[in-house]
Structure 1
């Protein structure tokens, strides 16, 4: 935070702190992943972004929620990394662990983890509307664990 934060910055950081606290409560409950994060408010960022180096930047107020925070945390954990993108073929993430995990969640042996080079679905939390119950958050965590196994993280 700035040495003498404005009212806008104080409000943004309060929202970001609340979002990150809730997001991390889910990751800490449902995973054993450890990662040092550096979170900041950058008004020029259109929504929010996360990087494998551990940085997460929030810009728009509408992105300062726990679902977006969980999505951005997934980027710091390897989703969207070079290794992730290398496992995407024709819109499908080809990792065995992630595919197996998705099928265990859905009970459908033909389900595939859809992906582009940066995101996966279902359970990627790419939009806040994807979350209906806590199960969606738990399943997101399960998928991130499996993707990390596939990409060697």
Structure 2
């Protein structure tokens, strides 16, 4: 994909000069400065994930030249989505992409809502300094020192390649970001086992373990969800089931000991079909974010089809639905439903 890279040397030069003189004491005696609050989310290879879209800040198209674009993309744990977040000791941080070795930059030193965010050679200017402040729940607001505007998921979008901008800080989910090490798993699980399993139990444990590992890995990559799950082999269970307390049971039928079924049951543990809000939103068709996402896939007339305890759209209710595309969309839709309060 071709792209246009623009720069205005005068602005860059002025910004660099400003950066060079920051902190120089003017004539007279300066009063002691109070200690700056350190930014959160520091690390050598952090993922920066938007709360609304659950997508990652991405060095778009693996750019390596100053002016390279920054967009959001489904999280892959790739080096172009990993960022070195370094405390500058001033209450601000530098955010450098591990693939491009370029810094997250307030492009052209913008100061108005809608100003671009790109990557640029690291130079220490205020356009590359970011205040990263915890807003609770594992999320942070990321504001530029030069513009005092917040890093923002433009128009609350949920598609790969959607733009990132700066905007007046509002505290919305479009401006909340989780800065974490992607190798640390948000969803964890344990399997209840008997000490001396029979051949049937040992086989079931192996199949369930494979299914859960695959399902949890996909959920961890594509969602913001944190959950501890307890899984059991329960031969008396007809297929598989789960509850909102994080408990999943697999019955004796091996056909259900697969990733798609495990993902279906994980969705129940986070509220799909098991929470009061799910039922309320279904009754009132109050799926603003989820419906907008669904229509980008299935057209402008698509609707969230609720049935008792389930959804028909990408709900993974039957083995015939277990394509790779459907598995990916299932997680994204569940995440979007959580953004709608599920």
TM-score by length of 1: 0.90
TM-superposed CA distance for 1:75, in Å, is 0.4
- How many correspondences in the alignment? 148
Matched, 1:121 2:312: yes
Q: Secondary structure at the match of 2:305?
A: strand
Give the alignment's Cα RMSD to 1 decimal. 1.5
Point out which structure has higher relative CO (alpha carbons under 8 A, 6+ apart): 1
Q: Distance in 2 between matches of 1:23 and 1:95?
A: 24
Partner residue in 1 for 2:333: 143
Matched, 1:110 2:304: no
Q: Per-residue displacement from partner, 1:24-45 (whole Å, max 9, x unpaired)?
A: 1211111121110000000000
Partner residue in 2 for 1:70: 263
Partner residue in 2 for 1:2: 194
Q: CA 1:149/1:117 → structure 2, altered by over 3 Å: closer, same or farther?
A: farther
Partner residue in 2 for 1:44: 236
Partner residue in 2 for 1:61: 254
Partner residue in 1 for 2:210: 18
Q: Per-residue displacement from partner, 1:28-87 (whole Å, max 9, x unpaired)?
A: 111121110000000000000011100000002221010000000000011012221122
Partner residue in 2 for 1:101: 293
More helix by share: 1
Partner residue in 2 for 1:88: 282
Q: Where do 5+ consecutive residues of structure 1 fail to align? A: none
TM-score by length of 2: 0.42
Partner residue in 1 for 2:92: none
More strand by share: 2
Q: Compare CA radii of gyration and give the structure with the larger one.
A: 2
Q: CA 1:117/1:93 → structure 2, altered by over 3 Å: closer, same or farther?
A: farther
